[in-house]
Amino acid sequence: MNASSSAPYARRRARLAALLGPKGIAIIPSAPEQQRNRDSDFLYRQDSYFYYLTGFDEPKAWLVIAGDSKSTLFCQPKDLEREIWDGFRLGPDAAPAQLGVDAALSVAELDQHLPGLVDGRDTVWYPFATHKALETRIDGWLGSLRARVRYGALCPQKQSDLCALLDEMRLFKDNHEQDIMRRAAQISAGAHVRAMRLSAHMLRAGETVREYHLDAELLHEFRRHGSQYPAYGSIVAAGANACVLHYRADAGEVRDGELVLIDAGCELDGYASDITRTFPANGKFSAPQRALYELVLASQEAAIAATHVGARFTDPHEATVKVLSQGMLDLGLLDKNKVGSVQDVIEKRAYFQFYMHRTGHWLGMDVHDCGNYIEPSEVGTVSERKDPLSGETIKDRPARILQSGMVLTIEPGIYVRAAEGVPEQFHNIGIRIEDDAIVTASGCELISRDVPVTVQEIEALMRE
Ligand code: GLY
Ligand code: MN
Ligand code: MN
């Protein structure tokens, strides 16, 4: 992550302060460093909430925002000796000018100052269940304050979950965020193009292709364009591996005649992209591969058409399921004589044998981003039904209504494991097509389409 102009972060802090109320105070820690082994750490990745409000990517930092809008950053003090080993530290003296916070102090003074900052506030807000031992730290500060009540200290009476406020803010991406997400998606699209090309090129040259060869292309393209790291563990799945939903890029051989499923996206300046493409390793779809691919693509088109302001979050999924279910009957994956009509397939959830995940999720700083999937004004409307497969009772609440600035993925798929009654020509084919969409006033903007998606476009690209 790179600190850019401080203005968007200052605007977010001001909006949050208004939500806290004049007597509220919010405490937001940076991400902890994670030891890998001995004195080696995992690559540091800042906490999304902290970065959303600061644009600051150093560890050992805390942000405190008071409801009267004053923000205080606690950060690592300058220390030449440590900076020789670990790199530059901004330090408290430079932080206000650089980050736009009102005040900055050394993190060594956190315990000394926090009780005083909390004194006289009615509610302490912090992210619940996100940071190990945060509650204990906060208890300690409240305890110190309580020890001074005889001298006039006033303890807050309430603690509230800051995630509730920040998740709702983060669900609506401002222009600054949308710009970064468009760039992240473009970089990822270029990486997919590169992997497709390499696969066809190596196979034509008679070379052995392995999943990691394609993964290397992705990483190269991400980093070449300034992405800090992949937004999640890349999936590069050759042949039957595509039917393992959480497969990783490994050493499987990419064989002529098989498909490759790549689900990979870079993270850029704190924002994820999330793209899946499935393509023939040699650049040419076989007839059964093509039939299934066209079906998944048609289901994605139906989902895209259902993604617009005013639609429910679940509408794209329902549109997908309808198209896939009909296709499963038409292609003989499901036997009409056994499962009945398309309506029966949907009601009995028979499609689940080949399509077992949802069609999307919020996308933002986190790949599976925060944000309520239930419409806030309708949380009290609950209906119950029995799941046709598990028999469990499911509580249904009205799904979120899509609004401009929300960003979600649209990612239908089909995964055909070998099984009795399933036509052999489809065995071991796994296909997913995933794009990233910004909800706009008129529908949705697909920001990940710089990588081809139709059969003709993919084959043309891989012929080059
Ligand atoms: N790559 C994770 C997902 O598609 O949800
Ligand atoms: Mn994905
Ligand atoms: Mn996804």
Q: For ligand 1, which residues put their CB under 6 angstroms from it?
A: 232, 263, 274, 361, 367, 411, 434
CA 180 to chain centre: 14
Residue nearest ligand 1's atom 4 by CA: 274
Q: Where in the chain is the domain with CATH 3.90.230.10?
A: 172-463
Residue nearest ligand 1's atom 5 by CA: 368
CA of 233 to the centre of ligand 2 (A): 9
Tens of pLDDT along 276-309?
Answer: 999 999 999 999 999 999 999 999 999 999 999 9
CA of 361 to the centre of ligand 3 (A): 6
Residue nearest ligand 1's atom 3 by CA: 274
Residues 267 and 273: their CA atoms lie apart, in Å, by 6
Instruction: Reply yes or no on whether the pLDDT at 3 is more than 60.
Output: no
Q: Which residue has the tokens 């071991």?
A: 428
Instruction: Reply yes or no on whether the pLDDT at 2 is more than 50.
Output: no
Q: pLDDT value at position 310?
A: 97
Tens of pLDDT along 362-389?
Answer: 999 999 999 999 999 999 999 999 999 9
Q: For domain 3-164, give the fold.
A: Creatine Amidinohydrolase; Chain A, domain 1 (3.40.350)
Instruction: Reply yes or no on whether the pLDDT at 414 is more than 60.
Output: yes
By most ligand atoms within 8 Å of CB, the mutation choice from 248, 267, 359, 411 for ligand 1 is: 411
By most ligand atoms within 8 Å of CB, the mutation choice from 245, 267, 273, 276 for ligand 1 is: 276
CA of 156: how far to CAs of 25, 123, 145, in Å?
A: 9, 5, 9
Of 202, 281, 207, nearest in space to 237 by CA: 281
Task: Give just the sign of the alpha carbon dihedral 286, 289, 292, 294.
Answer: negative
Residues 120 and 154: their CA atoms lie apart, in Å, by 5
pTM: 0.97
172-463 homologous superfamily: Creatinase/methionine aminopeptidase superfamily (3.90.230.10)
Mean pLDDT calculated for residue range 146-162: 96
Whether residue 61 contacts residue 47, with contact meaning beta carbons closer than 8 Å, is answered with no
Q: From the alpha carbon of 411, which atom of ligand 1 is closest?
A: 4
Q: From the alpha carbon of 274, which atom of ligand 1 is closest?
A: 1
CA of 88 to the centre of ligand 2 (A): 34
Of 130, 117, 137, nearest in space to 25 by CA: 117
Whether residue 433 contacts residue 171, with contact meaning beta carbons closer than 8 Å, is answered with no
Q: From the alpha carbon of 231, which atom of ligand 1 is closest?
A: 1
Q: pLDDT value at position 4?
A: 54
CA 461 to chain centre: 28
Cβ-count burial of 29 within 10 angstroms (0-12 exposed, 13-18 middle, 19+ buried)? Answer: buried
In degrees, to the nearest 5, what angle opens at C-alpha 234 toward C-alphas 230 and 236?
A: 150
Instruction: Reply yes or no on whether the pLDDT at 95 is more than 80.
Output: yes
Residues 63 and 374: their CA atoms lie apart, in Å, by 29
Q: pLDDT value at position 326?
A: 98
Neighbours of ion ligand 3 (CB under 5 A): 274, 409
Q: Which residue has the tokens 């900076």?
A: 83
CA of 409 to the centre of ligand 3 (A): 6
Q: From the alpha carbon of 232, which atom of ligand 1 is closest?
A: 1
CA of 359 to the centre of ligand 3 (A): 8
Active site residues: 39, 246, 263, 274, 357, 361, 368, 411, 415, 432, 434
Host H or E run for residue 313: none
Q: From the alpha carbon of 276, which atom of ligand 1 is closest?
A: 4
Instruction: Reply yes or no on whether the pLDDT at 41 is more than 80.
Output: yes
> 3-class DSSP state for residue 197?
helix
Q: From the alpha carbon of 361, which atom of ligand 1 is closest?
A: 5
Q: Which residue has the tokens 């200290």?
A: 153
By most ligand atoms within 8 Å of CB, the mutation choice from 266, 357, 358, 361 for ligand 1 is: 361
Whether residue 75 contacts residue 95, with contact meaning beta carbons closer than 8 Å, is answered with yes
Instruction: Reply yes or no on whether the pLDDT at 311 is more than 50.
Output: yes
> 3-class DSSP state for residue 175?
helix
Host H or E run for residue 431: strand 429-432
Look over the chain and give the mean of its residue pLDDT values, rounded to a whole number: 97
Q: Where in the chain is the domain with CATH 3.40.350.10?
A: 3-164
CA of 40 to the centre of ligand 2 (A): 29
Q: pLDDT value at position 1?
A: 43
Residues 184 and 252: their CA atoms lie apart, in Å, by 28
CA of 274 to the centre of ligand 2 (A): 5
Tens of pLDDT along 164-204?
Answer: 999 999 999 999 999 999 999 999 999 999 999 999 999 99
By most ligand atoms within 8 Å of CB, the mutation choice from 188, 300, 363, 367 for ligand 1 is: 367
- Picking from 69-73, 176-180, 270-274, 449-453, which range would have the lowest pLDDT averaged per residue? 69-73
Whether residue 32 contacts residue 82, with contact meaning beta carbons closer than 8 Å, is answered with no
Residues 230 and 283: their CA atoms lie apart, in Å, by 25
Tell me, what amino acid is at 216? Answer: A
Residues 243 and 320: their CA atoms lie apart, in Å, by 19
Residues 60 and 30: their CA atoms lie apart, in Å, by 6
